[in-house]
Each structure stands twice: as structure tokens, then as C-alpha cells.
Amino acid sequence: MHAYRSHNCAALRAENVGESVRLSGWVHRKRDHGGVLFVDLRDHYGITQMVADEDSPALPVLEGLKLESVVTIDGDVKARDAEAVNPNLPTGDIEVFARSVSVQSRAEELPLPVAGEQEYPEDIRIKYRYIDLRRETMHRNIMLRSQVITSLRRRMTEQGFTEFQTPILAASSPEGARDFLVPSRMHPGTFYALPQAPQMFKQLLMVAGFDKYFQIAPCFRDEDLRADRSLEFYQLDFEMSFVTQEDVFNALEPVLAGCFEEFSGGKSVTPAGEFPRIPYKEAMLKYGTDKPDLRNPILISDVSRHFEKSGFGIFEKIVGSGGVVRAIPAPGTNEKSRKFFDEMNSWAQGEGFSGLGYVTRKQGEFGGPIAKNHTPERMQEIYDELGLGENDGLFFAAGKESLAAKLAGAARTRVAEQLELIEQDCFKFCWIVDFPMFEYDEDLKKIDFSHNPFSMPQGEMEALESKDPLDILAWQYDIVCNGYELSSGAIRNHRPDIMYKAFEIAGYSKEDVDTNFSGMIEAFKLGAPPHGGSAPGIDRIVMLLADEPNIREVIAFPMNQKGEDLMMGAPTPVSMKQLRELHIRTVEPPKSA
RNA sequence: GCGGGUGUAGCUCAGUUGGUUAGAGUAUCGGCCUGUCACGCCGAGGGUCGCGGGUUCGAGUCCCGUCACUCGCGCCA
């Protein structure tokens, strides 16, 4: 017989009754009745009940073990009496009578229990992650992650994509997020950068003629964390040659829709080929964000026109000075108290906005100061235009367009949450398309790239030469699911002349481009195919599929919100010897007074 | 950097208007228990109420500061 097990802890059934077996696992729970002791033995696969009584030498050994000790038990499979069958356990028809036990590892008292699904403080969970990962939900999440990655990989391969590896020690690039730097021992004073994404490498693989690339790519960005953001994360990074935006969409939609259908547990998924496409500008208007949650039925409208002349002076003033008024319907709020509306306003102020106006409507009767000053008749015009009914309230976000849109978007989400309008049990995908190529940077008082500088502008060179830069759109697209940005992608700019021109508009010289992007610009001068791709975030995909509120629940060994690994202690100081070898001297920041 | 929330036993939590010696469940330890499956029963140990300061006759409770964790803003290919 095998040294540790003849079966795993989920294997035994009624047909095994009478067999002599050997099982190994963790002591999940114990029920000690004095003369008879039950042990739930757990391994990766499941749980089997072990039983020992006074006839068995295993009894005193098992009695003395703390939970989570690891044991190997020799015993006999016995059928349970009809009334003792446990229908909640796949192995519940049988139990194993323990003849002997050998203790593989004696556990001390645990910092957090494994059995049960109680919530525990996250810092303790992360510090003792190997314990936390034994728990059913975490164990399942990590297995789901593996299965999702396997599925994505298979779907990509079946579409003719080839998996590549690209360097982890790469060159720092001035664009985008802050880099993680790695000092070079061999070249004093110089640094590698961990890739924020394998962006240039995958484009160079296209230049190299590989046609369809993908990778489960680790990415590193030294920015502050969020529930859906980690310092290190993984993307399904892919790139294709000789493609239009349409081809990229057709490649990715079946992969994502198929993967979500496979693991969604019956939740509905936007079918491949039917992902709505929403221009960026429309998204900012109707949803107040470039990552709209389409499960939320509320649509924002611009009602600035109605307030050009209004008894409600604040809005008239805002519109008169170039601002906008956006309306967020709150359907069926006739029964809602004034408190509901006032609390929305104080919430908006708490978020740093000047405030959120509102109109109430109860059985056709308008209420609130805006309706009174603007007059009910003209309010009715707005309601007619928006198609609102006689019991629908309306919130107003007013101000500079970018701020008003942002407030309206946040209010749209909050109203839907408060009114429980967000559709459950579904994954709604959409593309956000037609991102602007450039935007005006208020701080630097100059035009800059709004997203990826390597995207091809729509209209190519002609657009760059003839249009107002702020009107130029890019072949740049995001994929969004339930309000989470899953990926960003683009048809790339593979033409050096267009590249130089685009950078020129953003205020960079030919020399700047040649210096900072020498590898890529050189490559593009030596025969580059048109190409494009995208890179869905794998952690976020698994988070959505696992129905978890944050990304750490689907990462085996996550960092906390301050980027610390509480289990291994990273980041740590290093020895003087190590620093000397790297030609590095540290300077502590001054203690602020 | 900024704002919100949380912080009481190993873990999950309660703790009234500021008032006696800070409680419960669970875990741990001891005892009992031969059919449980969150076994049950009896008992015990276990506390810098995050930390520091203040107000008060008296602070877990009120005030100020600070730390930790977390959510968001800024930031983010």
C-alpha cells in the first residue's frame, strides 16, 4: 500500500464498504463522545468521517490531537446506519473505522479557524495565508482562478494564438504608471524596470512576424492600491497582425463570453458577437464614466438647454458660463421621504462635489426648490423629453462638464443601489470605443496623449495634419463588464511618420521619441505590419466570476493595501553588502514635523 | 497626500445616559459522555478595551492626537 494514502478524502462510496484503506489529511473537526470519537478528515478533494472507539488504538492518539493536525489513518470502510447517513457529504454513506493512526504533523493552536465560513480580519488572513487558503471558499477561488486561466489559454490556442514569454527585467519607459525599478549590479547607476505590461515586446513580436501572440503576462505598476488593483497582476495579453478593430473584437468576444459562460454558474452573459459598442463621449454623457455598469438601467441626460433661462438662478448661471446640467432619473420614488433626497445631496457633498439638486414627483405633483423656481410647466418639458412618469424623481448634477459628468455617474450608481435597480445574476459586457487621441492637460497647460500614445489615430496622418487635435479619435477601446474595466486595447500606430507627428502634437520632439522608444521606432522603420490587440485583466475576471468584492480574494498570496507582504515581510531592508554590490545608497525621507 | 469606516479575550461579537470586579459564543485546558456530523453537559484559564494625552470624583463610553487595517478620492498600460 502507498505510504500515505490509498484513496483521497472524497473518494470512498458505499461500494467501497469492506475495503481496507489508508487516508491522509487534516483533522477538520472532532466530535468526542468519550468512548467513541468522530474525526472529519479533510484534504484537497473532500471530507471523510473517521471513527474510533475503545477497541481501537487510534482513539487516544486522535483524542490528543488539535484541529488541523495532519495524520495518516489506516482503517476499514463501513456503511453507516440509515439514520447516520450524512446527505450533505458526498462520502456521507460511509465512514472509516480507524485501526491505527500515525501523526504526520502536530498542529498548535490556530490563529484563525479553518472550519466554518466566519469572516476574519484580512491582515490576519494574509499573514497566515496558508491557513486561510485551507478554507473552503478561498480554496475554491484559487482553483477557479487556475481553471479560468486554463480555459483562456485553451480558447486562445484554439484560435491560432501562440503563447510567448517576454522579459521581466525590462527597460523603464516614461509613459504610463510608475515603474518598479531593479538596480543593475553590472552597470552602476542604471536600472531595469519591471514591465507595466509587455506592450512593446508584443508589438515587436508582431514586427517579427509571429502574427498572433498571447501570454498570461505578469504586470507591475507602482501605484496606490484599490479593491480591484494590486501592485502585481496578470493580463491575458494578446496582439494580432493585419487586423482592424473589428477583427480584435471578433477574436476576444468569444474568448471572454465563452469563459464567463463556462464559469458563471448559470448567470447570464452577453453573447459573443453582441457586445454593445459605446463611444467614449456617449458613455461619459449617459453613464458619467468610461466604465459603465450596464446592469444599472438609469440613463443620464443633458438638460442644460432647459436652464438657459430659468427661475433657478444657480443652474442658469452655470449654463451661462459654459457649464452643463445633467439629469439622473430616480424612478418610482414617490414614496421616498425627503430624507432620501437630502441624504443624496449630503452624500455628494461628502464626495467633494458642491451638491446634488433634486426634484421630487408624487402622483404628478412636482416638489422641491428647483421645480418651484424653474416652474412646474417647464419641468414638465424636461420630464416629457426624458420620458419620465408622474412618480419619478430627478437628480441634477451641474457644473463644469467633466465634474458634472463624474458626479452624475456616481449619483447614477448610488441611486440604483439605493433603489435596488441593479440587475443581479448577469454579466453585461460592452466595448467603449472612439477614445480621444489627445486631451488638454489643465495642470501642464498643454495637449497630451489621453491614453496610450502608441494607438493609431482614426484618420491617420491626414487627421493629425488637418483636425483640431482634441477632436481626433483613436483606434482605442476598453472592454467593460458590470462596471469593471477588464481590458484596454488598441490598433497600434505602426508608422514612424505618424508616430513622430502624434508625439509632436503632444509636445515631444523627434529626438524625444528616438531616445525613449528607440527599440520600437527603429523596428517600425524595418517593416512593421499593421497590428492591434488588448489585454483583459485576469484577476478582475476571476474576481467577477467568484463573485468577490476585491481582487485579493482570488490571489493566493496577496499584499495588503500598502503593498506589504505580511506573510514573508516584503518589502524588507537589505544588507549593506547587497547595497554596495548594487552601487546603491538609501536616503530616508525626513520625518515630517 | 486627503476623506469615510473599523479597532474590546487566539477568533466572532455585546457592552445602555460616563458609574460596582468588562461579558457571551467559539477556540484552549481539565472533567463527563458509545452515533455524532457546528455533538452535548460541567468547570477553569485567558483582557495594555489599538496607543498616547485630556476632561471628570469616576472613561471601553466624552474630547484631542496618533497608529493599524480597510473603502474611496488623487494617482493608475
pTM for the whole structure: 0.94
Q: How far is the CA of A1 from the C1' of B30 (A)?
A: 40
Mean pLDDT of A435-455: 86
Neighbours of A473 (CB within 10 A): 20
CB-CB contact of A71 with A35 (8 Å)? no
CB-CB contact of A132 with A125 (8 Å)? yes
Mean pLDDT of A75-87: 95
Is any atom of nucleic acid chain B found less than 7 Å from the CB of residue A40? yes
For residue A226, count CB atoms less than 10 angstroms from its CB and return exposed for 0-12, middle for 13-18, buried for 19 or more: exposed
- A152-196 confidence digits (pLDDT tens): 999 999 999 999 999 999 998 877 899 999 999 999 999 999 999
For residue A255, what is the enclosing H or E element? helix A245-263
Is any atom of nucleic acid chain B found less than 7 Å from the CB of residue A445? no
Spatial separation of the C-alpha atoms in residues A505 and A491, rounded to whole Å: 19
Spatial separation of the C-alpha atoms in residues A540 and A545, rounded to whole Å: 9
Mean pLDDT of A365-376: 90
Q: To the nearest whole number, what is the mean pLDDT of chain A?
A: 93
- Contacts of residue A452, Cβ cutoff 8 Å, sequence gap at least 6: A175, A199, A474, A476, A488, A490
Which residue's entry shows cell 443581479?
Answer: A424
CA-closest candidate to residue A434, choices A406, A457, A452, A454? A457
- A329-366 confidence digits (pLDDT tens): 999 999 888 888 888 888 888 787 888 999 999 999 99
Q: Is the pLDDT of residue A593 over 80?
A: no
For residue A397, count CB atoms less than 10 angstroms from its CB and return exposed for 0-12, middle for 13-18, buried for 19 or more: buried
Chain B nucleotides with an atom closer than 7 Å to a protein C-beta: 1, 3-4, 10-13, 26-29, 32-40, 68-77
Specify the range with the lowest mean pLDDT, choosing from A56-65, A343-352, A545-554. A343-352
Mean pLDDT of A196-207: 95
| pLDDT-based confidence at residue A311 (cuts at 50, 70, 90) | confident
**Closest nucleotide to A221, Cα to C1':** B76
| pLDDT-based confidence at residue A463 (cuts at 50, 70, 90) | very high
Q: How far is the CA of A559 from the C1' of B5 (A)?
A: 21
pLDDT for A591 equals: 56
Distance of alpha carbon A98 from the chain centroid = 46
pLDDT for A5 equals: 97
- A503-528 confidence digits (pLDDT tens): 999 888 999 889 888 888 999 999 99
Specify the range with the lowest mean pLDDT, choosing from A119-123, A179-183, A252-256, A294-298. A119-123
Is any atom of nucleic acid chain B found less than 7 Å from the CB of residue A229? yes
Neighbours of A304 (CB within 10 A): 19
CA-closest candidate to residue A211, choices A153, A160, A167? A160
- A381-418 confidence digits (pLDDT tens): 999 999 999 999 999 999 999 899 999 999 999 999 88
Mean pLDDT of A225-244: 96
Residue A127 phi/psi, 5-degree rounding, is: -65, -40
Is any atom of nucleic acid chain B found less than 7 Å from the CB of residue A226? yes
Taking the CA atoms of A213, A522, A503 and A169 in sequence, report the sign of the dihedral they define. Answer: positive
Q: What angle do CA A333, A483, A472 make, to 5 degrees?
A: 110
Residue A185's alpha-carbon distances to A192, A284, A582, in angstroms, are: 10, 48, 5
Residue A556 phi/psi, 5-degree rounding, is: -60, -50
Mean pLDDT of A49-67: 93
Spatial separation of the C-alpha atoms in residues A411 and A347, rounded to whole Å: 9
Predicted complex ipTM: 0.90
Is any atom of nucleic acid chain B found less than 7 Å from the CB of residue A256? no
Is any atom of nucleic acid chain B found less than 7 Å from the CB of residue A136? no
Is any atom of nucleic acid chain B found less than 7 Å from the CB of residue A370? no
CB-CB contact of A408 with A288 (8 Å)? yes
pLDDT for A592 equals: 46
Residue A532's alpha-carbon distances to A121, A175, A200, A278, A405, in angstroms, are: 43, 19, 12, 19, 30
Q: Is the pLDDT of residue A8 over 70?
A: yes
State the cell numbers at A560.
495588503
Q: What angle do CA A133, A139, A145 make, to 5 degrees?
A: 115
Is any atom of nucleic acid chain B found less than 7 Å from the CB of residue A178? yes
